[in-house]
Structure 1
């Protein structure tokens, strides 16, 4: 297994310190706070540890309360809300230095048959025809507000092979376009052994789901984003619905758009499709989207 993928898996492998209490650490972040996808994925790991394996997560709803500090551990405290005949509900609060920074509720269900339909998969070029992050991002090094941002960004995405279908927001600053973006992604390597389980694939997709999602808001306004310094932003809430089985180590198309932005906030939604066209996940997120005042640190609310 690739060392960077193993590092990510270790990051999501929380330490259990009591029956329903877990401790996680953080990956160095591009912005001066914990990456939202990381804390959401770790929180999902924590609640999954308290649910029987035969019940799979079908939805999660979460709120980002405070920016986390990558230099301090995060404590995840799980509350067992309900264990019903078909559904299980859990709630977890992530605490850092005595303050809650994130809260998540998740629902789990026994497998069962039912009515089935889905929206068709949108058209997209094959992922192999698109440049990798290592090939694409250095082309736009002059777009980032600080030279070290590119190195941090490349390091943060080493475990994820993420390929943009269209030009990313940071490459098109000053040129508004349709508020829609597509990326292909998969983890860099194959899950095997004990690491190859449904929970791992769910949590890895949750980790990636916070990447590039709010960029669709920026596209409508020709804004380059948090890395370029022309936007102050942060995630406010994040919701996901898990529809069909998928593998995070196989290509997934992440199709995102933004229906609205107003009052310093922007709304983004996403759909994740397997390469053979199955709708696997749906995502919604609202975030703070502000034009910064002079002297405002990037990534602050």
Structure 2
């Protein structure tokens, strides 16, 4: 794959049908390269979403997922997703998806789908602190920000990954957390996100389903950052270890066609930090303020003693 494209995302959610061993349907997918000892958690969420979506007809859209991460996934190795068809009703459908690697369960989620019906509509507004943020085109990309920087545990490999290996351009307000906590140590932040290039078609998914999988994929990269920010912990801090524990996501309304090829605002806040765990929450908005999706995730945050903050 070439740099600064969205190909890693497309590869992550490209599923291969397999013979089910435990439930009704099965697929395999491969976790994508990253410079850490374990695979990126968003791979699992997006792959499970794709597997669940391939088990329903086009009349029902994914509206929520609730996930638990039980074991780390090996990088570059296939994960087997088994889909159980728990319910198919006229208006709603429910699926359970379990991910296995090397014969062991490592991920489980419940996904719910809705056909939709006529009713009132209301969209939550941007929080006050996220109103009037800078134009993302005026903010540095991760590659531009990191170009002349070094330090902490950042290596050439992790620098390249943060710069161009995640399929999406991410621009932080008030600033990134790669090497230092850039900006105020406050319990909230915003991240403008956009794929490096137009999202490709994904076999077995409609464009609307692919877009939902894209939100599920990108949401995990930064959702714990408001907790890290308020604790004064940058990603490259020696001794810092994080891991996704559980994850919930609600898809409120589909973006208009092609919207995910442009900028979305991911407004995030810290909810709690205690006993080596942190809870972050985030909401995706279109540039004109339409609320698309909500995310909540709890993660392990383990920082060795004696580091600087």
Normalising by structure 1, report the TM-score. 0.90
Give the one of 254, 261, 274 matched to 1:245: 254
Aligned with 2:145 (options 107, 114, 136)? 136
Question: Which of the residues 197, 201, 217 maps onto 1:207?
Answer: 217
Cα deviation code 1:211-255 (max 9, x no counterpart): 111011011121113x33342211101110001121321211001
Instruction: Give a deviation string over 1:3-44, Cα, whole Å, max 9, x none.
Output: 832343132110011361001112111311110011110010
Partner residue of 1:170 out of 159, 174, 178: 178
Superposed counterparts of 1:255-294, under 5 Å: 255-292=267-304
Q: Secondary structure at the match of 1:170?
A: coil
More divergent stretch after superposition (123-132 vs 146-155):
146-155
How far does residue 147 in structure 1 lie from its aligned partner after superposition? 4.0
Compared CA separation, residues 124 and 101, structure 1 to 2 (3 A): same
Secondary structure (helix, strand or coil) at the match of 1:182 reads strand
- Cα distance, 1:79–1:235 mapped onto 2, change above 3 Å: same
1:189 aligns with 2:197: yes
- The secondary structure found in structure 1 opposite 2:242 is strand
- The C-alpha deviation readout for 1:60-83, integer Å capped at 9, x for no partner, is 000110000014210000000101
Distance 2:147 2:154 in 1: 14
Partner of 1:160: 168
Contact 1:272 1:280 in 2 (8 A): yes
Which of 14, 17, 27 is the equivalent residue of 2:32? 27
Q: Are residues 72 and 221 of structure 1, via their aligned partners in 2, closer, same or farther at CA, if it must alter by over 3 Å?
A: same
CA contact (8 A) 1:27 1:156 kept: no
Which moved further from structure 2: 257-266 or 141-150?
Answer: 141-150
Q: Which residue of 1 aligns with 2:77?
A: 72
The aligned residue for residue 43 of structure 2 is 38
Residues in 1 aligned to 2:96 and 2:190: alpha-carbon distance in whole angstroms: 31
Which one of 92, 101, 104 corresponds to residue 106 of structure 2?
Answer: 101
Q: CA deviation at 1:129?
A: 1.1
Q: Distance in 2 between matches of 1:129 and 1:148?
A: 26
Moved more, 64-73 or 261-270: 64-73
Which 10-residue stretch deviates more, 15-24 or 194-203?
Answer: 194-203
Residues 215, 289 of structure 1: alpha-carbon distance in 2 compared, 3 angstrom cutoff = same
CA distance in 2, matches of 1:200, 1:193: 8
- C-alpha RMSD of the superposition: 2.3
- The answer to whether residue 47 in structure 2 is matched with residue 49 in structure 1 is no
Deviations 1:253-301 (A, max 9, x none): 001010210011101000100111100000000001122269xxxxxxx
Helix, strand or coil for the counterpart of 2:213? helix
Q: What CA distance in whole angstroms lies between the structure 2 residues aligned with 1:234 and 1:193? A: 30
CA distance 1:266–1:172, change in 2 (3 Å): same
Counterpart CA distance in 2 for 1:231 and 1:2 is 27
SS of the residue corresponding to residue 209 of structure 2 reads helix
Tell me the TM-score normalised to structure 2 length: 0.88
Match of 2:116 among 95, 111, 117: 111
